[in-house]
Structure formats: structure tokens, C-alpha cells
């Protein structure tokens, strides 16, 4: 999945305004302009579209964690330079304070079935013998499930 699509889906799921998106970035101690946010959210065909790199999405997800769960004392974590779908999934799970069984129920609500073992394999460190790469389809379905849970509308 491209990072811009993740941003668009999260914005829609939580019905965030441009200002709220800017505030979430500010929660991770990063100031962005309304133009930057708007350009990240534009369709790829739009001439003003700007690709959202991994570091920018990591900053947003760190800000979302701070926004939804509160800032921890001390220095903020450094944003990752490279993000995988596994890391995006993990950061969203942390931000939404979801337990594994809640994630599984959410995925079932959008027609995706995963076992507890398959889910925990997605959250293991790369290199662990049970690590499993999170494919785009799993992340897409999770974002769809987030939309269904938090926005409460059909995700067809």
C-alpha cells in the first residue's frame, strides 16, 4: 500500500479535518502546513499530489498514538526511516489500544479470517522464526475494519 492511501483511509475513518491532521503531526513534534496535508491526501492523478514518504507516515502514526493515548514523558521516539506494513499495523493497534482478540473480531467483521497465531506472527520482529510479512490485503482489510468500527458506515 502506498502511504498516501493509509493517510487518506485514516482521515476518512476518523473524519479528521485538515486542522486535526496538522494537530496530529504536531503531537509528534512536527509542524506541517495545510498545503502539505492537502497534497498528501490528493489522488495520484492530481498534478499537486505529493508522495508521503515512510518517515512522514511514521511521524503521523506516532502523533496518532500520542493523540489517542496521550504523550509519554521524556523524548519522543525517532520516526522510522523505513516502514513496513507490519510496522504500520502495529502502530495502529497501539494507537487504538486494541488487544489481539479485538483485532480478530474487527477483521472478521470485514470478512477476513486470521488465527491468533497468524496475527501474532505479524507483530513479531523480522528475523524471528515465526515472523510473517503483512501483505497489502491484510492491512487494507484492517483499515476497512477500523473505518467500520470508528465511522460506523458500510465499507463496500
Confidence band for 33, pLDDT divided at 50, 70 and 90: very high
Sketch the domain layout of the chain as residue ranges. Answer: 3-69, 85-151
Alpha-carbon gap, residue 41 to 62, rounded angstroms: 18
Indicate if the pLDDT at residue 11 is higher than 70. Answer: yes
Which grid cell is 64?
496518532
State residue 152's pLDDT score. 74
Radius of gyration of the chain (CA): 15
Of residues 119, 122, 117, 120, the one with CA closest to residue 84: 122
Indicate if the pLDDT at residue 19 is higher than 50. Answer: yes
Q: Is 103 exposed, middle or buried (0-12, 13-18, 19+ CB in 10 A)?
A: buried
Alpha-carbon gap, residue 13 to 144, rounded angstroms: 8
Q: How many residues does the chain have?
A: 156
Which residue is associated with the grid cell 493523540? 67
State residue 153's pLDDT score. 59
What pLDDT digit, counting tens, does each position of 45-79 carry? 999 999 999 999 999 999 999 999 988 888 888 99
* Residue 27 host element (H or E): helix 18-27
Nearby residues of 15 by Cβ (< 8 Å), 6 or more positions away: 151
Alpha-carbon gap, residue 78 to 120, rounded angstroms: 25
Which residue is associated with the grid cell 489481539? 100
Least confident of 3-7, 71-75, 80-84, 125-129: 71-75
Alpha-carbon gap, residue 108 to 67, rounded angstroms: 27
What pLDDT digit, counting tens, does each position of 108-153 carry? 999 999 999 999 999 999 999 999 999 999 999 999 999 999 987 5
Is the model's pTM score more than 0.85?
Answer: yes
Which residue is associated with the grid cell 460506523? 152
Indicate if the pLDDT at residue 4 is higher than 90. Answer: yes
* Cβ neighbours around 6 below 10 Å, total: 21
Amino acid at each position: 500500500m502506498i502511504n498516501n492511501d493509509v493517510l487518506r483511509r485514516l482521515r476518512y475513518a476518523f473524519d479528521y479535518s485538515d486542522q486535526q491532521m496538522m494537530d496530529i503531526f504536531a503531537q509528534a513534534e512536527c509542524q506541517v502546513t495545510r498545503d502539505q496535508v492537502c497534497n498528501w491526501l490528493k489522488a495520484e492523478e492530481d498534478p499537486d499530489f505529493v508522495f508521503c514518504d515512510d518517515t512522514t507516515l511514521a511521524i503521523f502514526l506516532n502523533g496518532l498514538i500520542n493523540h489517542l493515548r496521550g504523550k509519554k514523558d521524556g523524548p519522543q521516539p525517532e520516526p522510522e526511516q523505513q516502514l513496513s506494513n507490519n510496522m504500520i499495523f502495529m502502530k495502529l493497534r497501539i494507537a487504538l489500544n486494541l488487544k489481539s482478540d479485538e483485532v480478530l473480531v474487527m477483521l472478521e467483521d470485514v470478512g477476513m479470517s486470521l488465527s491468533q497465531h497468524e496475527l501474532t506472527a505479524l507483530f513479531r520482529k523480522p528475523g524471528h522464526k515465526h515472523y510473517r510479512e503483512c501483505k497489502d490485503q491484510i492491512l487494507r482489510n484492517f483499515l476497512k475494519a477500523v473505518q467500520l468500527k470508528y465511522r460506523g458506515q458500510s465499507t463496500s
